[in-house]
């Protein structure tokens, strides 16, 4: 599946089969992210998200 995985911490780069990837902590997708999107884009309806 993944033939070649390159990790270069000095450049903060992860590449799998010449495709760059980003590592993102799950906490970055918390309710705060949704609140920020609502502020930026004016979304009125919020989905029911358990806290």
Per-block average pLDDT, block size 10, for the chain (51 residues)?
87 90 79 81 70 69
pLDDT at 47: 64
Task: Give the whole-angstrom CA distance, residue 47 versus residue 20.
Answer: 31
The pLDDT of residue 44 = 62
Q: CA-to-CA distance for 3 and 15, rounded, in angstroms?
A: 11
Q: What per-residue confidence (pLDDT) applies to 19?
A: 92
Domain count, the chain: 1
Say if 47 falls within a structural domain: no
**Spatial distance between the Cα atoms of 16 and 10, rounded to a whole number of angstroms:** 17
Q: Is residue 16 part of a domain?
A: yes
User: What pLDDT is recorded for position 22?
Assistant: 84
Q: Can you tell me the distance from the alpha carbon of 1 to that of 30, in angstroms, rounded to the nearest whole number? A: 30
Predicted local distance difference test score (pLDDT) of residue 36: 83
Residue 10 structural domain: 5-41
Query: How many Å apart are CA 9 and CA 42, to the nearest integer?
Result: 37
């Amino acid at each position: 599946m993944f033939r070649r995985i390159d990790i270069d911490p000095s450049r903060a780069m992860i590449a799998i089969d010449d495709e760059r990837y980003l590592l993102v902590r799950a906490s970055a997708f918390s309710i705060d992210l949704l609140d920020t999107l609502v502020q930026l884009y004016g979304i009125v309806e919020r989905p029911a998200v358990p806290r």
